[in-house]
Amino acid sequence: MSDIDLQDQAIQVDTEKGNFKYPENYEFDAGIGLTEDTVKYISDVKDDPDWVREFRLKALEVFKKKPMPTKWADKDLENIDFDKIRYYLSKGQQPARSWDDVPDDVKETFERLGIPEQERKFLAGVEAQFDSEASYSRMKEDLEKEGVIFVGSSEGLAEYPEIFKPYFGKVIPTADNKFSALNSATFSGGSFIYVPKGVKLKQPLQAYFRINAENFGQFERTLIIADEDSEITYMEGCTAPKFETATLHSAVVELVALKNAKIQYITVQNWSSNVFNLVTKRGMADEGAEVKWIDCNIGSRLTMKYPGVVLKGKGARGEVLSIALANDGQHQDTGAKMMHLADNTTSNIISKSISIGKGRSTYRGQVHMPKHLKNCKNNTECDALLINTNSRTDTYPAITTRGQNNTVQHEASVSKVSAEQIFYMMQRGLSEGEAMSLAVNGFVNELMKAFPMEYSVELKRLIDMEMEGSVG
Amino acid sequence: MNHSLEVKNLHVSIDGQAILKGFNLTVPKGEVHALMGPNGTGKSTLAKVMAGHEDYIVESGEVLLDGVNILGQEPDEISHAGLFLAFQYPMEIPGVSIANFIRAAKQARLPEGEEINAIEYYKELYAKMDALKMDRKFTARSLNEGFSGGEKKRCEILQMAMLDPKYCVMDETDSGLDIDALRIVSEGVNLMRSEDRAFLVITHYQRLLDYIVPDVVHVMFDGRIVHSGDKELAKELESKGYDWVKEAFATASA
C-alpha cells in the first residue's frame, strides 16, 4: 500500500547517481574510426567463428551503402561523426560469476549503481556490461538446472551455436536499417537467453548497460529465445556519465517467442543528454505466443526506437507500452510496429510522451494488416503531455488495414499542464517542480500499473528528478 | 506576535484595471469573518492575491500572517506559512489520486529526510472522510476529475482539514452545493473552528451563514470593504438585496 516500503527495492538508475566515471584503462581498444580493420580487430579479439566474421564484414558494407534516414528523421543524426567513435573497448576479462572476481573499478561502478544489492533482493539473474563486454554474469542455480541459458552474446554464439545461429539476425536482418547494420558489424556484449519448453521464470533476469568511456559506441546484441509454453521477463537498465562529446548507443534486440510462449522485455533507460540512442528492437510471436515491450525512455540527446512485434502465428499477441520524457534539448522519437501475418492476431500500442521546455517528442506507429487475414485487431493510443509552450510533439501513425473483420482503433490526445493546475497544487504546499512531477506521474499513472512494482517506483523517482531539474 | 490575518491598504490591478482599491481587513485567530458583496467587486481577486497568484499586480499594501508580510512569496511558501485557499473552481488533476495528492502536500511540509507514516496518515484521512461523509473509495479517484460540484467542494474541505492551516480562506464554497451537501460541508468547517484558527468565508449568499455562523460580516463593494457588522447584517443584505449596497455606497466611493 505504501510507496515508502518499496523504495528500498527500487532499481537505482538516476542520472546523478550515474554521473561518475573511472579512469579508462583497457586491455583491448579497436582505436578510433570504423574500417574493415576495426571489424577484423573485434573478430580477432573475440575469436569469432568464420560465419560471424563474414556476417560482420557483410554488415559493414551494408552500413556504408545505406544513407542516413534524415529524409524523415531528425537532422541531428548528421552530427554523428563515425570517424571519431571508438568501437570496442574491453579489459579483456571473462564475465565473472562472482562479484569478488570483477575488477575493482568496474565492481565499484556497479555497486554505486546498486546492482549487486538488487540481485540479492529480487532478480533471478544479472548481467552487467561495462563498455563493450559483460563484466559479470550470473543466474540462480535452480534455473541452470532447468536448462535456462543466460550468458553474454559472445559466449552464446561460441557455446550454443545450435540454438543461437538459426535465430540470430532472423528477426532483424542486417539491412533492416543503417543502425542495425552498424550493430551487426561491430556488436559485442548483450545477452543470450534460452528458456526451455515449459519453463516459466518467476523472477526477472536483468542486464545493466554502462558506458564509461568518452566518444564510445556501445553496440550490444541481445537474443532471447523462449521455447514452447515458456515464460520470461527481462529487464534492462542503462546509464552513462555526462560527457562533453557525443556518445553512441546502438543496440539490436531480437526476441523469439515460440508456440504459446510469453516474453516481456522491460527497458528503463536514463542516458545522459549527449548520448545518441539508436536502437532496433523486434520480437517474433508464433502461434498463441505473446511478446510485450515495456519501454521507458528518459534522457539522451536523440532516441530513435520503435519496438515491434511480428505476429507470425495464429492467435499471437503483441504489445508495446511506452513512456518517453523529452527535456530541454532532447528529442524522443519513439513508437511501435505491429506486423500482423496470421489470422486472429491482436496488438496493442499505448504510448505516452511528455515534452518539457524545448524538449521534443515524436510518435511513429506502423500497423500492418494485409488483405488475406481475418479477425485481427489493433488498438493504438498515443497521448502527449506538453509542459510549457515551447514543447513540441508530432504524431505519425501509419495504419494499413485490409481484409475481413479486421479492426483497428486509434486514439490520440494532446494535453497541457496549465498554470492554473500548477497554482492549485502549489497552494497546497507543493513546490513548482513537485507539482509538475505530480502532474506527469498522474499522466502516466494508468500505464505504470502495468509495470512490475520495482520499475514503477524507480520510474516515478526518475520523473521527479527530471521535473525538479526542469524548473529554473 | 500579532495573531491575525491582516490586509492593509491593498491595491491590486490586472491588465491595467484596478480591482482592489485600498482594501483593509483584520481577522483575528478564533474568529470567523464573512465577506459578502455583489459579483465583480473583487472578492475572488482578494483570495487569489492572498494565495500568491502571479497574474495580479500588487500596486501597494500588505497581507500579514501573524505580522509577517506574505505578498511576493511563492504560493507554496504562503501555504507553508499557514494560509489555505478553498477554491471556487477546484482544478482537475488527472491520474493523481486524492490520497496521493494530500499525502504529497503533507510530505512537502516535513523537513528533508523525514517521511510520512503511512499507517497514521490513512487513519487520519479516513477519520476526516467519515466526518465529511465521504466514501472511502473516494481516495483512489483522480483529484476532482469528473466530480460533481458538491464532491469538489467536499474534497476542498477534506484537504483543508488534513493540512491543518492557521488561516482558511473559502471562496464561494457554497456555490454548486445542494442543501444536504451544504450542511455536511458546513459541519466540516464548524468542526475545525478553534482559538488557533481564523476563517474568511467569501460568499454571495446568506444561506451558507445559517450553517457557518460568522462573528463579523463585511460588505465589499468596488474593491474595498464598505460596511461591517454582526451576523444580522447578512440577513439584512439578504432581504434588501445588493442593490441596496450599490445605492448606499456607490456615491460614497465615487
* Per-residue model confidence as pLDDT tens for chain A (472 residues): 333 333 333 333 344 556 666 666 677 888 888 999 999 999 998 899 999 999 999 999 999 999 999 888 999 999 999 998 888 888 766 677 777 777 777 777 777 766 677 766 666 677 777 777 766 767 777 888 899 999 888 889 999 999 999 999 999 999 999 999 999 999 988 889 999 999 999 888 888 877 767 777 889 999 999 999 999 999 887 666 666 667 899 999 999 999 999 999 998 888 888 889 999 999 999 999 999 999 999 888 999 999 999 999 999 999 999 999 998 889 999 999 999 999 999 999 999 999 988 899 999 999 999 989 999 999 999 999 998 766 778 888 888 888 778 888 888 888 889 899 999 999 999 999 899 989 999 999 888 887 777 777 777 777 887 777 666 5
> What pLDDT sits at residue A88?
87
pLDDT per position as a tens digit, B15-27: 999 999 999 999 9
Q: What chain A residue is nearest to B88 in terms of C-alpha separation?
A: A424
Give how far B233 is from chain A: nearest CA, Å.
Answer: 31
Give the tens place of pLDDT for each residue, B114-127: 999 999 999 999 99
Residue A103 pLDDT: 72
Asked if B91 lies within 8 A of A421 by C-beta distance, the reply is: yes
Q: Where are the alpha helices (DSSP H) in chain B?
A: 43-50, 75-81, 98-107, 118-131, 149-163, 179-192, 208-211, 231-240, 242-253
* Strands of B57-65's sheet in order across: B17-28, B4-14, B57-65, B68-69
Contact B160, B86 (CB under 8 A): yes
Amino acid at A410: H
Question: Which residues of chain B from 191 to 250 reach within 8 Å of chain A, CB to CB?
Answer: none
B66/B167 Cα distance (integer angstroms)? 10
How many Å apart are CA A335 and CA B56, to the nearest integer? 42
CA A264 centroid distance within chain:
12
What torsion, rounded to 10 degrees, do the Cα atoms B17, B23, B27, B32 define?
-60
Residue B1: pLDDT above 70? Answer: no
CB contact under 8 A, A426 and B163: no
Flag whether pLDDT at B52 surpasses 70. yes
- The answer to whether residue B140 sits within a structural domain is no
Q: In this predicted complex, what is the ipTM?
A: 0.96
Partner-chain contact A442 B51, CB within 8 Å: no
Measured CA to CA, the distance from residue A442 to residue A422 in angstroms comes to: 13
- Residue to substitute from B50, B79, B122, interface A, most A β-carbons within 10 A: B79
List pLDDT tens digits, range B179-189.
Answer: 888 998 999 99
Domain extent at residue B188: 4-94+152-253
Does any domain span residue B106?
A: no
Q: B83 pLDDT exceeds 80? A: yes
Burial of B98 (0-12, 13-18, 19+ CB in 10 A): buried
B108 vs A423, A430, A443: nearest CB: A430
What pLDDT score does A468 carry? 73
Q: Which is it for the CA torsion B37, B41, B47, B50, positive or negative? A: negative
Q: Which of B2, B3, B41, B1 is nearest to B23 (CA)?
A: B41
Report pLDDT for A392: 74
Residue of A187, A250, A191, A200 lying closest to A223 (CA atoms): A191
3-state secondary structure of A472: coil
In a domain, B105, yes or no: no
Task: Taking the CA atoms of B223, B229, B230 and B233 in sequence, report the sign of the dihedral they define.
Answer: negative
Residue B140 near chain A (CB below 8 Å): no
Q: What is the dihedral of CA A123, A127, A130, A136, to 10 degrees?
A: 100
The secondary element (H helix, E strand) that includes residue A263 is strand A262-271
CATH number at residue B233: 3.40.50.300
pLDDT score of A4: 34
B90 contacts in A (CB within 8 Å)?
A: 424
Cell output for A127: 548481467
CA dist B106 and B112 (Å) reads 12
Higher pLDDT, B223 or A122: B223
**By the CB < 8 Å criterion, does B139 face chain A?**
no
Q: How many domains would you assign to chain B? A: 1
For residue A304, give the C-alpha cell: 530513435
> What's the distance, CA A125 to chain centroid?
18
Out of B53, B102, B159, name the one closest to residue A423 (CB): B53
Q: Which residues of chain B make contact with A443, given a CB cutoff of 8 A?
A: 94-95
Residues of A whose CB is below 8 A from B87 = 424, 427
Helices (H), B193-241: 208-211, 231-240
Gap from B110 CA to chain A (nearest CA, Å): 11
Confidence (pLDDT) at B42: 94
